[in-house]
Every structure is written in C-alpha cells, then in structure tokens.
C-alpha cells in the first residue's frame, strides 16, 4: 500500500554495528557520571570528617535573667563579653522573619544551602561595577560565616559554600534559622535579634513593628556602620530600603509602609539591663549553666521602685544603702527585689545584697512575741503591762527615748514599740521556745558565737535577714501561716504555721491602728492615708539598722536602710527613715487582687476587761474595776495581770484584808470591833509612780490598827528624796554655759534606785548614795526615785529662764 505523500517517512534503522556502539557509549557516560557522583559523595564525606562542622554548643553563651513577663533584668555576658539572649523562630515577630527572609534569602526554604543564581548574579555584578554589589550569600552561608571565621577572599567563599552545604546536611532549616537568630551580629557586644531588640528598642523581638522589624533585618549587613545608637541616619536609609522591598514584593501594603516610614530611628544607649541586679546575680550563681532564668519580678514595678529608692537615698547621709522586698501574699512570689540603693557604687558597698544580709532586726520581732503570748493564753490585746525600770536578772532594758510610761496595754506597748514590756512578756513566754517558734516560721536568728538565746533578742540582740522577716510577716495576711519568698515561678512553696489564725488576726488589727506618733516621728498625715496597712518599725542598737515592714491584703513590704559596713547612722531610725519609703512603695503597688483580708476568726471575740486585775468587767465589782478596756480575747482566755516577780516586795492583784469598824487594817493576830474583810485591787508596784491621785488612793492599804504588829504587806518601806523640796523654783546662774544640775539622795532606800526625770531614765544609784541630775530645759519637771520593790518618791520643781 502506498503511503500518503504528507506522511513522514519511517526513520532509517541504524545498522547493527552502530546500534551497539551507541549503547556502549551511553553506558560509559552513565558509568562515568555515577562514578563521579559516588566520588563526589565520598569526597564530601571525607571532607566532612576531616573538617567537621563546629556548631556552637547549646549550653554556651551569655545568660539572661528575665522578669515574669520576659523582660530582661540583667544580662551576663559570655567569656568573650557577648550578650546573647537565647530564642527560637517561634518566639520572634512574624514581621521580622518575613522581612529577614524576603530581604536576605527569599529562596531559603528551597535551596540546598547555596543559590547558584544568586552567586552568578553577584559575580557578574562585581565584574560589571568593579565592586561587590550583591554578595550572593544565602542565609545558610551567612550562618556559616557567623559560626566559623572565614576570610572575605575567593578561597574563603569556597570554604563558606562548603560549610553551608555541611549545615544543610546536618541541620534542619529551622535549626539553621535559629542559629542566625541567636548569633547574627548587631553591633558592639550584641549578638542575636532578641538581645538587639532589648538593647536598642527596649522591647522583646516578639513585639516588633514593621519599621523595627525592617531595621533589625538589615542591621547585621553592616552592624558597625548601621548601629542606630551611633548612626541613626544611615540606619534609617537601610531600613527604608527594606521597607520598599517589602512593598514592591506586595507583602506589606502602602498604608503599612506609610506608618512605618513615620517612625523615627531612635535607639537607647547601648547597655546591658541592670534591674534587680543582685537578685539576678544570686540566681545566676545558683544556676550557672542556665541560659534563661525567668523570675517572679514585675519589671515595671521593679524599675519604678529602684528609681524611688535612688531618689530617696540621695537625701540621706553618705554611704547609706537600702533594700526593699515586696511579696505577693497569695503566691509568696517576690515582685520587687532591691538589694542595694546603688548597684556597683563602692561608696555604698553596692555589691552587698542587703535583702539577705544578716542584720539586727531591732523591734521587728515584737509582733511575733505578742502573737505567741496570745496563743499561750498569757495576754489579751489590752492586758496591763508595766513600762518602768526593771531588772531581769541583771538585764535592765530601756526604751528608745529612755522615757517610761508606767501602766500600758499590750496594744500600746506593741504600737509604741516599748522595750521593757516586751522583755517582760518574753520572760514569761521563754526565750528558747520563742527562738524555736521563729525558726519553725522561717526566721532563723543568728547569735554571737557561743551565745545562748536570752532576753535581748527581742530588742535586736540577734541577727536575721530582710527576706526572712518579710516571709514571716506574710503570716498576718495568711491566717498565721508564714512562707519563704519565692523568686522563681517553679520554686516550691515553703509555708509553715507561725501563729494561730486568731493570734495573727489580733496582731494585724493592732498594727493597722498604729498611732500617728511612734518612736518620736510625727506621721499624722502619712498614717491617715495608709489606714489599711499594718506596719511595724525597728531600729537596732547604735542606729545601725532602720526597718519598716508593712502588710496589706495583697502585699507584704519590707524596707531596710543603713550602712552595709555596720557603722552607725545617728538620727536615722525606723519610723523617721524607713517608714516613709515603705509607704511610698505601698502607693506604687497595684490594689485589689483575689487575696482579701480574712474575716474575724470565730476564736476571737471582743470583751471588756478591767485594770488592774485583768478580769472580765462583767465579773468584776465596780470598786475593783479602776479602768475598763475593750480587748480582743483569743479562745476565751481572760488571763489576769502578770504577778510581781518579787512577791515579797509587793502584793499586787486582788488583796483581801481584815479591817475593823473604822476601816483600819488588822494583822494576823490582831482583832477589832466589827471586823470584816475588804477587797483591794492593787496595781503592780512599779506602776504606782504613774497612777493618778485617785487610783493611788483606791489601791492603798488601810493603815494598821493601833497595837497591831506589822505584816508582810508593808515590806515596801517608804523612801524620801532630799536635796530639793516639793515645788522648788530653780534658776541658772547668769551667763553660765553649764546645764543646771542638782544633787539628790533617796533616804530609806536599799539596793538600786532608778532616777527618772519627766519619765526618762537618767541613771541609778545604790541605796542612799548621791545622784546628780541635769535640768537643761526651763519649765516644770517631775523627779522620781524608784526602787526595785516598788517604793518610790516624787517631787515637782520648776526651772526659770535665766
């Protein structure tokens, strides 16, 4: 059959010999190609073994300590001085990743580490223009140069290509991208986008704007010349180039570009963050291998309090430092940790962390003592105590201002931080038991070497830490359960019972109604503004430590001020120095929160008690109830007033005597007409100098009937002051610069005699030895001589102006 003329002819078959020759040639080329591929693979494996890839170890580099929201508090550079904050691509703003990959390497996820087209474009561009116009490096090649020093030469480019291929062979694209994000240079000691974002912009890389993302995407191209803190104009031009590329690619809109273009390039001074510096150092020392340490600190609040402390300390004497700790009562997490007033300031010993330094607590332990006494049933909130010169086995405490107040309530003694009543209560509670109870609540007291717990610990005769005190004070907001402050979110909660819920509630109520005048500091305006704060101040011996600790529904705040070297700061004490700063910090704290003040416990009830006996008013005859007080009682306990220590010296409390028809006292072997018994409510002997005339008369014993032998009730023999007469008017000699002084004796006294001027202790004498007193101020003065057994004498004098 004849084919159509338009049909193509059949190909002419090759001769048999030629067909064999063609097949042999194809096979040879295929074999050569296969051998070449295998050889290249073997060479690549061999080179990979000979020149192994040196990746940064995952556990090396700088350490960053972060606030609870991720804000860096302090960066610790690595051994090369580099600041690097570890981060992954998932933690970076998508805008930054978009700008980076579009501008630097849009084929990143498609090429094997090298982009031939980009390389050829770079070569031809260099030949055409005489200099490098486009480097042709992929992001992987940039990572290769970042992690391994490679010279900018043709052989160096070949090495860079080899290293890029190695990276692609060993790592995933995500791992390569993370290496870039963490190690790209951004100028100075800054490496990685997260460190750069915080250093230049003061924000995390997760919250970048379009303009900021573009700036950080281009900055590693020439970090020295484009640093926004040094060359803002050059940085802006480079940024705008990236923005234009993003618009031209259709990735960012014209509106977004206009908004971004309006943003100025303003960078902060390049510095590592130094907030909560000493806490960061503390945690870094505890976790030296950790690269990211997340704390419980509130970054904004921390900076605000640090600024307030710095401003406040500028008005105090040189070398003074301060510490502030703020704890959330509900979680025990610390939100503010100021360990020093000026970090790294040698004049203030700014390297010393005063939050955990051992210091004398002054009077800050007194609330726990009175709370424990409440739990023991020894006192109510209004039990009668005596603030007068007392001798506790050779220990003779005095008050902060050397003044004494006579009969006071427990609440008064705690609010006014009176020393003698506190020592009296501690003597009844027991020092060893008190120290053990504090230790169980997290307050470990450190005593001088070889010393045993003694009565002085309640006045600061031991040492402890601010963080221990703050943790213990949280008990007043947490139903008596104290807890150690937590600095890490995953730190275990350490909470132990310190007081019963009732005792904690009563003590907090007392401390939240503090008077406006405490330790001599007038605070009326300040107190009225903070009537929801329960607070206590303290001052250690020699004005070395000034404390103020406050408790609100949500927060516990501790403030210490002093000199870290332990030298005195005369005139600086808790109420006048630390308390105003504590209230200032309270004003800065956010209000509210889920943790609210607990309701009055069922174990607490308000009762009316009577002085001087201490019993319920409802059960006390009116003649024996000289003063009535509303008191908080715990578990129904209504304890009597403490008995006198020297029972032979005075019969305090309820005394029952026999009297005759004329009301004269009858001793044991004495009898009279119409004799009957009489009840007398006697005040503690040492309180008698402060009693009113009426109270003293009501508490006085009836005189002995004629012929009756003396009884033990008259042991306290009367004494008399000689050297001045009642009502004497004195005048200093004209032109004299010496203070007016008088010499007195207490006739009839035996043992120690305490001399007081207007309630303030001036000194002591033995028996009827002479005592010299200075009368420096014009006006009325009251002089008191008081013996240990309660015998006393008083006289009033007047000093005229010269």
CATH of the domain at 234: 1.10.3810.10
The total number of structural domains in the chain stands at 4
Local structure of 23: helix, strand or coil: helix
| Dist CA 465 CA 451 (whole Å) | 19
Q: Residue 757: inside a domain, yes or no?
A: yes
- Decide which of 262, 287, 302 is a domain's last residue: 262
Q: CB neighbours of 45 closer than 8 A, spacing ≥ 6?
A: none
Q: Are residues 765 and 705 in the same domain?
A: no
User: Would strands 728-731 and 63-66 be described as parallel, antiparallel, or unpaired?
Assistant: unpaired
Q: Residue 645: inside a domain, yes or no?
A: no
What is the predicted pLDDT for the residue at 120?
A: 67
State the pLDDT confidence band at 520, using cuts at 50, 70 and 90.
Answer: very low
What is the predicted pLDDT for the residue at 594?
A: 43
Q: Residue 315: inside a domain, yes or no?
A: no
State the pLDDT confidence band at 531, using cuts at 50, 70 and 90.
Answer: low
321: its two tokens = 């430092």
What is the predicted pLDDT for the residue at 653?
A: 85
Average pLDDT value for residue range 23-29: 71
643 phi and psi, to 5 degrees? -75, 160
Q: Are residues 622 and 751 in the same domain?
A: no
SS (H, E, C) 538-589: EECCCCCEEEEEEECCCEEEEEEEECCCCCCCCCCCHHHHHHHHHHHHHHHC
393: its two tokens = 């086995």
What is the predicted pLDDT for the residue at 1?
A: 45
Average pLDDT value for residue range 494-516: 92
Q: Are residues 119 and 199 in the same domain?
A: yes
Q: What is the pLDDT of residues 328-365, one digit of tens each?
A: 999 999 999 999 998 878 888 889 999 999 999 999 99
Residues 353/278, Cβ–Cβ less than 8 Å? yes
| Of 173-182, 302-311, 433-442, 790-799, the least confident | 790-799
408 phi and psi, to 5 degrees? -140, 160
Q: Given a cut of 70, is residue 489 above it in pLDDT?
A: yes
CB atoms within 10 A of CB 176: 22
Q: Are residues 679 and 767 in the same domain?
A: no
Q: CB neighbours of 626 closer than 8 A, spacing ≥ 6?
A: 610, 611, 612, 681, 683, 695, 698, 699
Q: Are residues 731 and 627 in the same domain?
A: no
Average pLDDT value for residue range 422-429: 96
Quote the pTM value: 0.81
What is the predicted pLDDT for the residue at 20?
A: 62
Local structure of 763: helix, strand or coil: strand
Q: What is the pLDDT of residues 728-748, one digit of tens each?
A: 888 776 766 677 888 888 877
Q: Are residues 773 and 630 in the same domain?
A: no
| Of 373-387, 480-494, 625-639, 666-680, the least confident | 666-680
DSSP string, 344-381: T-GGGTTTS-TTSS-B--TTTTHHHHHHHHHHTTS--T
Q: Residue 617: inside a domain, yes or no?
A: yes
More confident residue, 30 or 596: 30
Q: CB neighbours of 128 closer than 8 A, spacing ≥ 6?
A: none
* CA-CA-CA-CA dihedral for 561, 562, 563, 568, to nearest 10: 170
Q: Given a cut of 50, is residue 593 above it in pLDDT?
A: no
| Of 38-42, 67-71, 96-100, 290-294, the least confident | 38-42
| Full domain range(s) for residue 703 | 653-714
Q: Are residues 242 and 145 in the same domain?
A: yes
- Compute the half-sphere exposure of residue 153: CA atoms within 13 Å on the CB side of its CA: 5
| Of 274-278, 449-453, 662-666, 717-721, the least confident | 717-721
Q: Residue 247: inside a domain, yes or no?
A: yes
Q: Are residues 207 and 257 in the same domain?
A: yes
More confident residue, 1 or 294: 294
Q: Are residues 741 and 689 in the same domain?
A: no
Catalogue the active-site residues: 104, 363
**Average pLDDT taken over every residue of the chain:** 86
- Decide which of 215, 239, 262 is a domain's last residue: 262
Q: Residue 279: inside a domain, yes or no?
A: no
- Decide which of 236, 262, 288 is a domain's last residue: 262
DSSP bridge pairs for 608: 630
Q: Residue 461: inside a domain, yes or no?
A: no
Q: Are residues 708 and 785 in the same domain?
A: no
| Dist CA 720 CA 792 (whole Å) | 8
Residues 667/709, Cβ–Cβ less than 8 Å? yes
* CA-CA-CA-CA dihedral for 155, 157, 159, 163, to nearest 10: 180
| Dist CA 456 CA 359 (whole Å) | 15
Q: Residue 299: inside a domain, yes or no?
A: no
Q: Which residue has the tokens 């550079």?
A: 77
Q: What is the pLDDT of residues 784-793, one digit of tens each?
A: 888 877 778 8
State the pLDDT confidence band at 15, using cuts at 50, 70 and 90.
Answer: low
Q: Are residues 171 and 115 in the same domain?
A: yes
DSSP state of 659: E
Residues 676/702, Cβ–Cβ less than 8 Å? no
Q: Which residue has the tokens 């296969």?
A: 34
| Dist CA 326 CA 551 (whole Å) | 10
Q: Are residues 698 and 754 in the same domain?
A: no
């Amino acid at each position: 059959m004849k084919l159509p003329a338009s049909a193509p002819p059949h190909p002419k078959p090759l001769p048999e010999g030629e067909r064999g020759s063609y097949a042999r040639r194809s096979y040879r080329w295929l074999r050569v190609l296969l051998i070449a591929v295998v050889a290249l693979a073997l060479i690549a494996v061999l080179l990979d073994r000979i020149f192994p890839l040196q990746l940064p170890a995952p556990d090396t580099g700088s350490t960053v300590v972060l606030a609870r929201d991720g804000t860096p508090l302090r960066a610790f550079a690595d051994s090369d001085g580099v600041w690097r904050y570890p981060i992954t691509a998932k933690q970076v703003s998508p805008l930054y990743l978009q700008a980076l990959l579009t501008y630097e390497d849009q084929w990143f996820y498609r090429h094997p580490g090298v982009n031939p087209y980009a390389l050829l474009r770079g070569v031809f561009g260099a030949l055409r223009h005489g200099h490098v116009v486009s480097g042709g490096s992929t992001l992987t090649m940039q990572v290769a140069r970042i992690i391994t020093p490679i010279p900018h030469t043709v052989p160096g480019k070949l090495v860079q290509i080899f290293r890029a291929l190695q990276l692609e062979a060993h790592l995933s694209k995500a791992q390569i991208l993370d290496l870039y994000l963490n190690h790209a240079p951004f100028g100075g000691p800054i490496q990685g986008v997260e460190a750069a974002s915080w250093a230049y912009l003061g924000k995390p890389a997760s919250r970048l704007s379009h303009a900021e993302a573009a700036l950080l995407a281009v900055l590693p191209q020439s970090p020295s010349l484009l640093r926004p803190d040094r060359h803002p104009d050059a940085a802006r031009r480079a940024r705008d180039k990236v923005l234009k590329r993003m618009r031209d690619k259709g990735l960012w809109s014209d509106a977004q570009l206009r908004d971004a273009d309006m943003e100025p390039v303003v960078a902060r001074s390049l510095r590592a963050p130094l907030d909560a510096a000493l806490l960061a150092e503390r945690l870094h020392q505890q976790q030296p291998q950790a690269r990211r340490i997340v704390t419980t600190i509130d970054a904004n609040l921390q900076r605000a309090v640090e600024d307030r402390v710095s401003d406040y300390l500028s008005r105090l004497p040189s070398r003074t430092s301060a510490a502030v700790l703020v704890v959330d009562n509900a979680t025990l997490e610390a939100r503010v940790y100021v360990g020093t007033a000026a970090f790294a300031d040698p004049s203030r010993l700014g390297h010393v962390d005063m939050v955990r330094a051992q210091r004398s607590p002054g009077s800050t332990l007194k609330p726990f003592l009175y709370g424990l006494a409440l739990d023991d049933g020894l006192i109510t909130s209004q039990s009668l105590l005596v603030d007068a010169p007392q001798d506790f086995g050779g220990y003779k405490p005095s008050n902060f201002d050397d003044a004494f107040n006579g009969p006071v309530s427990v609440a008064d003694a705690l609010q006014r931080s009176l020393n003698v009543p506190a020592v009296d209560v501690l003597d009844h509670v027991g020092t060893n038991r008190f120290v053990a109870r504090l230790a169980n609540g997290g307050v470990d007291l450190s005593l001088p070497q070889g010393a045993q717990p003694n009565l002085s610990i309640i006045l600061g005769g031991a040492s402890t830490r601010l963080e221990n005190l703050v943790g213990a004070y949280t008990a007043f907001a947490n139903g008596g359960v104290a807890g150690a402050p937590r600095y890490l979110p995953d730190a275990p909660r350490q909470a132990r019972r310190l007081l019963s819920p009732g005792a904690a509630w009563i003590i907090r109520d007392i401390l939240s109604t503090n008077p406006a005048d405490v330790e001599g500091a007038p605070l009326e305006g300040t107190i009225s503004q903070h009537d929801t704060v329960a607070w206590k101040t303290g001052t250690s011996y020699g004005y070395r430590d000034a404390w103020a600790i406050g408790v609100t529904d949500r927060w516990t705040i501790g403030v210490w001020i002093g000199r870290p070297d332990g030298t005195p700061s005369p005139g600086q004490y808790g109420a006048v120095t630390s308390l105003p700063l504590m209230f200032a910090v309270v004003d800065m704290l956010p209000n509210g929160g889920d943790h609210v003040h607990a309701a009055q416990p069922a174990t607490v009830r308000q009762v009316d008690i009577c002085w001087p006996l201490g019993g319920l008013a409802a059960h006390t005859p009116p003649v024996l109830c000289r003063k009535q007080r509303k008191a908080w009682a715990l578990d129904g306990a209504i304890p009597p007033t403490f008995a006198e220590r020297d029972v032979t010296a005075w019969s305090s409390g309820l005394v029952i005597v026999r009297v005759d028809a004329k009301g004269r006292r009858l001793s044991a072997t004495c009898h009279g007409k119409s004799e009957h018994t009489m009840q007398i409510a006697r005040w503690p002997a040492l309180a008698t100098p402060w009693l009113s005339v009426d109270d003293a008369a009501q508490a006085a014993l009836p005189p002995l009937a004629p012929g009756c032998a003396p009884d033990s009730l008259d042991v306290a023999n009367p004494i008399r002051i000689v050297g001045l007469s009642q009502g004497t008017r004195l005048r200093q000699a004209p032109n004299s610069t010496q203070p007016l002084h008088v010499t007195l004796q207490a006739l009839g006294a035996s043992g120690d005699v305490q001399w007081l001027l207007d309630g303030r202790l001036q000194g002591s004498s033995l028996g009827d030895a002479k005592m010299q007193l200075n009368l420096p101020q014009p006006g009325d003065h009251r002089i008191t001589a008081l013996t240990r057994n309660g015998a006393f004498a008083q006289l009033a004098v007047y000093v005229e102006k010269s």
